[in-house]
C-alpha cells in the first residue's frame, strides 16, 4: 500500500471510529430515555407512546449506521494490517 493511500485509510479509520463513538453515546441516551419512558410504576395514562416511538425509531436508525461503521472499521483495520479490536 502506498504511503498516500495508507494515510488516507488511516484518516478514514479515525473518522469512522470517532463517528462510532459518538453514535454509541447517542444510542446510550436513547436507551436511557426509553427505559425512563417505560417505567413500570408510571401510570399508563402518563405513557407518551408517540415520544417512545420516536426514541425507538431513532435508536434503530443509529444502530443500523453503527453496524455499518463497525464493518467499515473492520475492513480498514484489515487493510492497514491492524487488529480489528482495540483493547
φ and ψ of 82, to 5 deg: -100, 155
Using CB atoms within 10 Å of the CB of residue 76, give its burial: 0 to 12 exposed, 13 to 18 middle, 19+ buried: buried
Write out pLDDT tens, residues 24-55: 999 999 999 999 999 899 898 999 999 999 99
- In angstroms, rounded to a whole number, what is the distance separating the alpha carbons of residues 71 and 68? 5
Write out pLDDT tens, residues 58-75: 999 999 999 999 999 999
Amino acid at each position: 500500500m502506498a504511503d498516500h493511500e495508507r494515510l488516507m485509510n488511516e484518516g478514514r479509520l479515525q473518522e469512522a471510529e470517532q463517528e462510532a463513538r459518538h453514535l454509541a453515546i447517542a444510542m446510550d441516551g436513547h436507551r436511557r430515555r426509553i427505559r425512563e419512558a417505560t417505567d413500570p410504576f408510571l401510570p399508563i395514562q402518563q405513557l407518551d407512546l408517540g415520544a417512545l416511538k420516536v426514541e425507538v425509531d431513532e435508536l434503530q436508525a443509529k444502530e443500523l449506521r453503527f453496524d455499518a461503521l463497525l464493518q467499515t472499521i473492520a475492513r480498514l483495520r484489515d487493510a492497514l494490517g491492524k487488529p480489528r479490536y482495540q483493547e
